[in-house]
Amino acid sequence: MINKHYKNQNGYSLIETVFYIVLFSILSLAVINALISMTKSFTETATHAELMQVSPVIERITHEIRQATSITSITNNNTDLLLQTTGTNTSVEFLLSGTNVQLKENGATTGNLNTPDIAITGLTFTQITSTNSKAVKVDISARYLKDKQAREEHFYDTVILRGSY
């Protein structure tokens, strides 16, 4: 009688199983690393987009300065600016109140110019006067409150008053 042993060809060997586990682990690590990178990139983009919300604040300030005919005063360590517009006979004031830039028209507060998620950490007005013109340099520092790294972004502009050029 011939004793024949047949190998069972069903299933995987131990080496094949270990190989597939290692391959799956490497692919999983690559995917997880890509997801972490995308999350960091998204967070950076969102933080930058939120900080760009300060642009309308500086645009409003520069618009009002361009429309003004005179600077009534720059007070409170250069953080308050009071402008006079003769055409409509109105006064416009910008001031730093806590971490918000406020706008007052004819003495009445119209509200904060920055969004609640943005903290204005610095606001400076500098009057520039030459023999032919008057200008104001505006410097704003802002921080996104949800940014864990607490980075600040600086915005600045120099604006010449109407009719002084």
Residue 34 belongs to a domain: no
Beta bridge partners of 138: 125, 157
Number of separate domains in the chain: 1
Reply yes or no on whether the pLDDT at 23 is more than 90: yes
Residue 80 confidence (pLDDT): 76
Residue 20 belongs to a domain: no
Reply yes or no on whether the pLDDT at 6 is more than 60: no
Flag the least confident range among 10-24, 55-69, 71-85, 143-157. Answer: 71-85
Residue 42 confidence (pLDDT): 94
141: closest CA among 111, 112, 114? 114
C-alpha to C-alpha distance for 136 and 129, rounded to whole angstroms = 9
Residue 165 belongs to a domain: no
Residue 130 belongs to a domain: yes
Reply yes or no on whether the pLDDT at 153 is more than 60: yes
Fill in the amino acid letter for 15.
I
DSSP three-state, residue 103: strand
Mean pLDDT along residues 33-62: 92
pLDDT in tens, 50-108: 888 899 999 999 998 888 878 888 887 777 777 776 566 788 888 899 999 999 888 88
Residue 70 belongs to a domain: yes
Mean pLDDT along residues 4-23: 78
Pinpoint the alpha helices (H) of the chain.
14-51, 55-67
Determine the structural domain holding residue 97 and report its residue range. Answer: 51-160
Residue 36 belongs to a domain: no
Pinpoint the alpha helices (H) of 52-118.
55-67
Residue 8 belongs to a domain: no
- At residue 151 the predicted structure's pLDDT band, cuts being 50, 70 and 90, is confident
